[in-house]
Amino acid sequence: MKRLGLALAAFGAAVLAPQVASAQAPQPCDRDCLIGLMDQYYAALVAHDSSRLPLSNDVKYTENGQALTLRDGLWQTVKALPSYRFDVTDPENGEVAMLGIVKEGTNDNYISTRLRVENRQITEIENLVVRSTSAAPAGFTRIPQTAVLPIFNEIEPAATRSSRSELQAAANAYFTGIDSELTGANAPFDPQCQRMENGSWMANSPDPKAGAMQKLGCKEQFDTGFQVIVTNIRARRYPVIDAERGLVYALAFFDHSGAISEYGRPDGTVQPVTGTFTQPFSFMIAEVFKVQDGKLRQIEAVLTTVPYGMPSGW
């Protein structure tokens, strides 16, 4: 009888073991799953109710580098779903990020949100929100963004698709070209490369009224030497990479020491540095790079001014 009891116990354990293992196994979250969680996040944000989200017990939340509770900041002020939203997904790394425009009070503010997902629970929420005037600076063109530029959603041919490491290297070369080099020689720019920041065309602008610098291509701008005013690009992170679409979502800080009073141009003339760039400050930036055939083809960023040398909170 004792042997029968032991046999039955062993049989029961054998039957239950696969079920327990299955219950404990990580649940993968594909592209649709990640986008769905970003949908849920913004619906909860508009409702000012984080209890609607599948959150881990130790979820971490920051807003412009500051750790907050899920009752503060945007959780009190967001009025509507984003009027513009551009998602980048990375199922391999369990992350999704977006660039967009959100209604805060009466303001339409540019924003970036990053979510980290583990076992279909949100473990990290990182927001960068640009709380500033809605008008673009003189010489810049701010477009009414409502739709994602089609090029960002293009699937790259398998034969010419860059690997994850190659995509990250291309984005990193862009940052290094700004803070360590005086030309665009080592940044892999496509001749048609365009750059947009906070809804304003900054390179290869299609607007005939754009300023002279904004009409230049990405490489041509680097070749002017203007980037010497950026004294360091630090805390570089590349948490979201979509190799299928050739996209890299990067986060970093652009430090401006304020100590650069002038810089030499390729034509031998000297350009004085004026205004904001004569005092210390940093830009906190979220930037998406589109890479085609190994070249930086399209760049879109959201950035805001923060205290000089401020840490990321991550």
Inter-residue contact 37 to 97 (CB < 8 Å): no
Pair type for strands 55-63 and 121-129? parallel
Inter-residue contact 80 to 105 (CB < 8 Å): no
Average pLDDT over residues 282-289: 98
Average pLDDT over residues 158-164: 96
User: What is the C-alpha separation between 133 and 150, in angstroms, rounded?
Assistant: 28
Residue 209 zone, left/alpha/beta (φ > 0; ψ -120 to 50; rest): alpha
Which residue shows structure tokens 């005092």? Answer: 279
Residue 132's φ and ψ, nearest 5 degrees, are: -150, -175
132 vs 95, higher pLDDT: 95
Q: Which domains does the chain have, with CATH numbers?
A: 31-129 (3.10.450.50), 150-306 (3.10.450.50)
Band of residue 296 on the pLDDT scale cut at 50, 70, 90: very high
User: What is the C-alpha separation between 201 and 215, in angstroms, rounded?
Assistant: 9
User: What is the C-alpha separation between 116 and 56, in angstroms, rounded?
Assistant: 10
User: What is the C-alpha separation between 188 and 171, in angstroms, rounded?
Assistant: 9
Global confidence as pTM: 0.89
> Could you tell me the sign of the dihedral formed by the alpha carbons of 152, 155, 160, 163, in that order?
positive
User: What is the C-alpha separation between 100 and 112, in angstroms, rounded?
Assistant: 6
Token pair for 67: 């750790």
The residues, ordered by sequence, that sit 6+ positions from 214 with a Cβ below 8 Å of its Cβ are 139, 140, 141, 201, 202, 203, 205, 207
| pLDDT tens figures, 75-117 | 999 999 999 999 999 999 999 999 999 999 899 999 999 999 9
| pLDDT tens figures, 19-55 | 544 456 778 999 999 999 999 999 999 999 999 999 9
Inter-residue contact 136 to 146 (CB < 8 Å): no
Average pLDDT over residues 289-302: 98
User: What is the C-alpha separation between 199 and 147, in angstroms, rounded?
Assistant: 12
User: What is the C-alpha separation between 130 and 249, in angstroms, rounded?
Assistant: 17
Which residue shows structure tokens 């003189």? Answer: 138
| pLDDT tens figures, 51-77 | 999 999 999 999 999 999 999 999 999
Average pLDDT over residues 282-301: 98
